[in-house]
Amino acid sequence: MEVVCLDSRALAKIQAVVLIVVIFVAVVIGSGAYFLWSGTLESAETIKIGICADLDMTRGESIMNGAILAAEEINAQGGVLGRQIEIVGEDSDIEAGTLDTSIAIAALTRLITFHKVDFVIAGGGEDYLIETAVEHKKILLGTLSPSDSLTQMVIDDYDRYKYFFRLGVNGTASYVEVADSLAYVREITGFSKVAYIALDVPQVKVITEGLDYLLPEVYGFDLVYTGVYPWGTVDFSSYFAAAEANGAEIVIPIMVGQEGIAFVKEWYERQSPMVVWGVNPVGSGDFQSWNWTEGKCEHTVAGLSAVQLGYPVTSKTLSTREAYLNRWGTLPSLSAIVAYDCIRFLLYDALQRAQTTETEAVIEALEESEVENSLEENFKFTSNHDHSFGEDNKAITIMYQWQAGGAMAIVYPKEIMEETGATYTYPDWPGAWD
């Protein structure tokens, strides 16, 4: 099989003119197309899975790689329902930062109407892609947006919005997880004065609004500063100055783009007296961050998956890690793992039980899913098509700290930290830890 890149930017912009009015604001621009061919031509006999993501950026490329690996493994064992899996990708430019949602909608429309995919995995922008999926009665599996409004749509009008399923976490689960982990860092450090610096987009606002209530009212933290920055910010000096002036001991970066790298470098270079406990999937929260920040991320904490950290939460964790490393020569990002698990385990299982790719039957099968994957012993959905987090599920996101020489020490959850014998470390310069 071969991956071919076709530039459809001009076509996507023409299509965008006649698309439906944008439903929700998010961050997108541009277009392009990527295909995983099962032959010399796209075949009607294959099961086509569309990837709608920013394929020019790290996250989108990772989603594509995870999907390709899953398809290759399924095809090697004979496919599913007697058919091979084919991956078709359209570049949404979701991370470009121009707020031109029409480009992502054009990419999804092209996947559905031109490539005639059976299912779509979205790498962001689910909030406004949902209406296009509904219009075409196409199942949309969301990996990124935490917006609770998507859940509410399914609750309020199931028959219309039943096509949406969330693979990632919703806003409520996101901020509860952050608050729980902060309660533990307070146990380690004794720190209780918290600041956050967050990207000003609706998806992140869901998390910050939850923290605004939970941290002071439920967990007893002193929330001394809340900074919200616009997309494209690379200078965080004013935000650091304000947080430090208000006596913050812990700063939480809530970021979704490459600005996380600039944030971490600035924290290190100004020798900030705050510890970083982050929600930052690109800067300190990525396994490549040590190189990206030139080692300046040392002592910062962020979340990664068990696959990336090599901690076996399920029987499939380490085999997925090894397979991805062998195929692509690098460790997978969380986005890659989510896409891989979706196809390799979730969709494969649902199709086997449904014995058809017919949309209504697959929706019913997905609703009844209970599968082991790389990250969870029992992945399933709630009745509202949210990712279900029950007591039978182990940790998906694990908090780790960068330490000397690029070592990654697990510092949350507590039981894994104790099991692995990790310790929490502080910077060498003066700070709250003194």
- Please choose, from the candidates 187, 181, 259, the residue with its C-alpha nearest in 3D space to the C-alpha of residue 227: 259
Per the rule left: phi > 0, alpha: psi between -120 and 50, beta: everything else, 45 is: alpha
E strand spans, 15-159: 32-37, 47-53, 85-91, 119-122, 139-142
Do residues 160 and 181 share a domain? no
pLDDT of residue 99: 61
Cβ atoms of 112 and 104 closer than 8 Å: no
Residue 225: domain span = 172-280+287-310+397-420
Query: Mapping DSSP to helix (H, G, I), strand (E, B) and coil, where does residue 353 land?
Result: helix
The pLDDT assigned to 37 comes to 42
What was the pLDDT predicted at 27? Answer: 29
From CA 118, how far away is CA 358, in angstroms rounded? Answer: 9
pLDDT at 44: 55
Same domain, 181 and 273: yes
Q: What is the 3-state secondary structure (H, E, C) of 293-352?
A: CCCCCCCCEEEEEHHHHCCCCCCCHHHHHHHHHHHHCCCCCHHHHHHHHHHHHHHHHHHH
Amino acid 232: pLDDT = 85
Q: Which residues contact 210 (CB under 8 A, 6 or more apart)?
A: 171, 172, 174, 175, 176, 179
Predicted pLDDT of residue 30: 35
Place of tokens 């690109």: 282
215 lies in the same domain as 227: yes
What is the CATH classification number for the domain harbouring 86?
A: 3.40.50.2300
State the burial class of residue 7 (Cβ atoms within 10 Å of its Cβ: 0-12, 13-18, 19+).
Answer: exposed
Residues 144 and 211 in one domain: no
In a domain, 377, yes or no: no
State phi, psi for 3 to the nearest 5 degrees.
Answer: -100, 125
The per-residue pLDDT for 34 is 46
272 and 130 together in one domain? no
Does residue 195 sit in the same domain as residue 66? no
Count of domains for the chain:
2
Confidence at residue 23, expressed as pLDDT on a 0 to 100 scale: 27
Pairwise CA distance, residues 96 & 232, whole Å: 9
Residue pair 431/300 in contact by the 8 Å Cβ criterion: no
Residue 389 lies in a domain: no
The reply to whether 274 and 360 lie within a common domain is no
Tell whether 243 and 184 lie within a shared domain.
yes
Same domain, 405 and 340: no
How would you write the pLDDT of the chain (434 residues) with one tens digit per residue? 434 333 333 333 323 332 322 222 232 333 344 454 433 334 458 999 999 999 988 788 999 999 999 999 999 999 999 999 999 999 998 776 656 789 999 999 999 999 999 999 999 889 989 999 999 999 999 998 878 889 899 999 999 999 999 998 887 877 888 898 999 999 999 999 999 999 998 778 888 999 999 999 999 999 999 999 998 899 999 999 999 999 999 999 998 777 888 999 999 999 999 999 986 645 555 667 888 899 999 999 988 888 988 999 899 999 999 999 999 999 898 889 999 999 999 999 999 999 999 999 999 999 999 999 999 999 999 999 999 876 555 556 688 999 999 999 999 988 899 999 999 999 999 999 98
Q: Are 296 and 268 in contact (CB under 8 A)?
A: yes
Please check whether residues 14 and 148 belong to one and the same domain.
Answer: yes
